[in-house]
Structures are given as structure tokens and as C-alpha cells.
Amino acid sequence: NAGVTQTPKFRVLKTGQSMTLLCAQDMNHEYMYWYRQDPGMGLRLIHYSVGEGTTAKGEVPDGYNVSRLKKQNFLLGLESAAPSQTSVYFCASSYWGQPTDTQYFGPGTRLTVL
Amino acid sequence: ILNVEQSPQSLHVQEGDSTNFTCSFPSSNFYALHWYRWETAKSPEALFVMTLNGDEKKKGRISATLNTKEGYSYLYIKGSQPEDSATYLCAFHTGANNLFFGTGTRLTVIP
């Protein structure tokens, strides 16, 4: 039982390049989330999904797209990376989206945009 | 965007000391408060989820209390050990698919 995994762990991009971050969970969770974590700020929600085939915007969605083609996977895409997207990205999942549901986090992806 | 504040930002304590820190959140539209423990180079791990005013949770030497009327929660660690060194995050749930996280309190326990 791997929990929540993320690939890659590290990546360096040049401004304007694109990339996709992959999140996978093996806990059969319905809800999945993408957060970014920046120095001096709390984790901020980028996008989330309430089930296979669905996505929704979070607090800071601009510059990102997501897809949830399979229940276990949640992809975060950057079409044209900008230095402001340098951050650590965390994926999380939960059984449902109830306020009391624990979110289980992946190990993070450190992205640097030059 | 909701403001969830944690204080202090960081603290150092000696092994064996007890310590506590604070999470402040909006007192209106409260659904739940989560505490997470985040060790360096690892993923945040859930400690507690609290929903009721006056709620108190305990796990080993760590406990937490909740005051929803005034919008704060305290996390206590009794007899701190070096393995307690981590960042402790709180997160406020509004009931609308979104957890709002504080910036965390970074605890260092000195042997």
C-alpha cells in the first residue's frame, strides 16, 4: 500500500516550457487535491477533483490545468511555466470531501522555473 | 481566502520541556479544524480533526483543544522529545471542499 505517490520528485524548467506532474493513490479515494507550498505561506489549493472525470478550481488555479481520467490518478499541468510557479507541489487525497475527512499527502514535487 | 494564523512561527525547547502553540481561525462558518505534523522531507501526517466547541483530543504526549466561539485551538506537547521536532500545521475547513492551512509552527527539540 503505497498511499499517495508523486512523480517527479524534482524538476527544473525554463520559462515557457510545459510539464505534467502525476499524482497516484491506491486507497480508492474519491477526492484528490493539488496544493502549492511557498515560503511564508500555508499550503494553497490549486485544483481539486471530487471523482473520476471531474475537476474544480481552488484558491490559486491560474496557470494550471488538471485532469482526472482515472480515479487513482490526478494530473497537474503547466502549459507555459513562469518563475512565479517555482514552488513545492503537494498532492493529497481523501475518501470523500467531508470536513472531518483526513487528507493524505504525497511526498511533494519541487519545481524550479528559471 | 480565509486567514488561519499560527503562533509562534518557530520555537526551540529543551528535551523534557512541555510546550504549546496556537492556531487562530475565523469563528464563523466553522466546520472542522485539522492538525497535521510535518517532518522535514516527509509528507504532512494527520494528528487530529476536531469539530465541537470544547473538544479535546489526545495522542500519546500530544493533545489539542478547540474553542470555536472565539476561533482558536491549542496544541500541547508534554515532555518534548527530539523526535517531536517537526512543523505543526493547522487547517480550517469551511464545508466547501477546501481546507485553509496556516503557515505552521516549526518546533525544534534540543537534546
How far does B49 lie from chain A, in Å, by closest CA?
Answer: 6
Contact A100 B4 (CB under 8 A): no
At residue A84, the 3 state secondary structure works out as: helix
Percent of chain B with pLDDT over 70: 99
pLDDT band at B5 (very low <50, low <70, confident <90, very high): very high
Task: Walk along chain A (114 residues) and give the pLDDT tens digit of each residue.
Answer: 789 999 999 999 999 999 999 999 999 999 999 999 999 898 999 999 999 999 999 999 999 999 999 999 999 999 999 999 999 999 999 998 899 999 999 999 999 999
Ramachandran category for residue A49: left, alpha or beta (phi over 0 → left; psi -120 to 50 → alpha)? beta
At residue B44, does pLDDT exceed 80?
A: yes
Q: How confident is the model at residue B1 (pLDDT cuts 50, 70, 90)?
A: low
Q: Which chain A residue lies closest to B101 (C-alpha atoms)?
A: A42
Q: Dump pLDDT digits (tens) for B62-108.
A: 999 999 999 999 999 999 999 999 999 999 998 877 889 999 999 99
A44: its cell numbers: 494553497
Model pLDDT for residues B14-39, shown as the tens digit of each residue: 999 999 999 999 988 889 999 999 99
Contact B89 A41 (CB under 8 A): no
- Which residues, listed in sequence order, are joined to residue B74 by a DSSP beta bridge? B22, B65
The residues of A whose Cβ lies within 8 A of any Cβ of B are 4, 31, 35, 40-45, 48, 50, 56, 58-59, 90, 97, 99-100, 102-108
Residues of A in contact with B42 (CB under 8 A): 107
